[in-house]
């Protein structure tokens, strides 16, 4: 089989050279140069699992191992429960595992996209220095790869729901793809902003990793939203991931439509993130080559 060309080898095929001083990183560039973005995604997946005996299946195996660990710690050892666990014949173990896995799948998608997008520009300085390279493809491809991994994990979650609940899946699953698009927009916007900041302040990625750890524990991933102390209710209401995790759980696990408030918050935060992130990225990308 012919060897797939590396993304760096496809740079010359991107398109016409931008005018001097013109920032050509509009959101539309992601679609116009989708072949380049996809080439990066494919190459990334190949490099990530090169030499591995089970390859791409690590995308599924790793979260399942973490799921088993977290379920044991939070459900068995610490005794965390949800309302639906109390009515379960196995003491809530299977339901809590699905409840936790749904939250983890969402969190992994956001975490991977934000962490990798932060260093997307500085990790590819040799490409940024090419005059006709469209820099927006870099955060674009890492967010795309993160969403692809999340879709695979969502498939595992859907299979687990069919296997362990006996309730099957409902038409509400049709709303999952639009939510994935909103999530991708939120992560892409935040990722472009963080990638820009990281060009000038190289410690940004370490701040992001520490912040994500804190963000994970203040988001209802391991526990139900009603366990949140009332005095911190405003903090949860302003947390877009709290709403996003809740929406996925309602659609996939509970087969119900979430409250419109949750959809609105996620949509507004996604639009705000994309507008701010793109604006910052667009106004600074001409200077990237001087700092990477």
Q: What number is the average pLDDT over the span 4-31?
A: 49
> Cα dist. 221→184, 249, 262 in Å?
19, 10, 16
**248/283 Cα distance (integer angstroms):** 35
Would residue 152 count as lying in a domain?
A: yes
Q: What confidence tens digit (pLDDT) does each residue in 70-111 have?
A: 777 777 776 666 655 444 544 466 788 888 889 989 999 999
Would residue 72 count as lying in a domain?
A: yes
**77/74 Cα distance (integer angstroms):** 6
Domain count, the chain: 1
Q: What confidence tens digit (pLDDT) does each residue in 102-149 have?
A: 998 999 999 999 999 999 999 988 888 876 778 888 999 999 999 998
Would residue 75 count as lying in a domain?
A: yes
- Find the helix or strand (DSSP H, E) in which 117 lies: helix 93-118
pTM for the full predicted model: 0.84
Would residue 15 count as lying in a domain?
A: no
Q: Residue for token digits 């610490």?
A: 78
* 31 has pLDDT over 80: no
* Structural domain boundaries, residue 32: 26-45+56-290
Neighbours of 212 (CB within 10 A): 15
**186/197 Cα distance (integer angstroms):** 17
Would residue 199 count as lying in a domain?
A: yes
3-state secondary structure of 161: helix
Two tokens, residue 207:
């701040």
Would residue 74 count as lying in a domain?
A: yes
Contacts of 229 (CB under 8 A, 6+ apart): none
Q: What confidence tens digit (pLDDT) does each residue in 275-284 have?
A: 999 999 989 9
Would residue 14 count as lying in a domain?
A: no
Tell me which residue of 240, 288, 291 sits closest to 137, measured CA to CA. 288
* 24 has pLDDT over 80: no
Would residue 11 count as lying in a domain?
A: no
């Amino acid at each position: 089989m012919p060897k797939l060309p590396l993304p760096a080898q496809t740079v010359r095929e991107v398109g016409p050279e931008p005018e001097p001083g013109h920032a050509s990183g509009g959101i539309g560039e992601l679609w116009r140069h989708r072949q380049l973005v996809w080439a990066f995604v494919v190459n990334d997946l190949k490099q990530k699992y090169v030499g591995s005996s089970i390859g791409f299946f690590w995308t599924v195996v790793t979260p399942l191992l973490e799921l088993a660990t977290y379920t044991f710690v939070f459900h068995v050892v610490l005794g965390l429960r949800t309302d639906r666990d109390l009515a379960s014949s196995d003491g809530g173990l299977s339901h809590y595992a699905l409840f936790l896995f749904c939250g983890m799948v969402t969190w992994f998608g956001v975490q991977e996209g934000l962490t990798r997008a932060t260093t997307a520009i500085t990790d590819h300085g040799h490409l940024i220095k090419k005059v006709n390279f469209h820099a927006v493809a870099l955060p674009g491809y890492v967010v795309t790869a993160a969403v692809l991994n999340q879709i695979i994990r969502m498939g595992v979650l859907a299979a687990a729901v069919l296997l362990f609940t006996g309730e099957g899946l409902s038409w509400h699953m049709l709303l999952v793809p639009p939510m994935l698009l909103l999530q991708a927009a939120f992560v892409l916007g935040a990722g472009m902003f963080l990638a820009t900041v990281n060009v000038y302040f190289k410690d940004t990625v370490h701040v992001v990793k520490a912040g994500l750890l804190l963000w994970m524990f203040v988001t209802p991933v391991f526990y139900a939203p009603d366990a949140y102390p009332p005095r911190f209710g405003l903090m949860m209401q302003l947390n877009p991931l709290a709403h996003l995790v809740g929406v996925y759980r309602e659609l996939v696990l509970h087969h119900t439509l979430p409250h419109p408030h949750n959809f609105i918050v996620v949509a507004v935060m996604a639009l705000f993130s994309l507008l701010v992130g793109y604006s910052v990225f667009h106004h600074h990308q001409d200077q990237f080559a001087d700092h990477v």
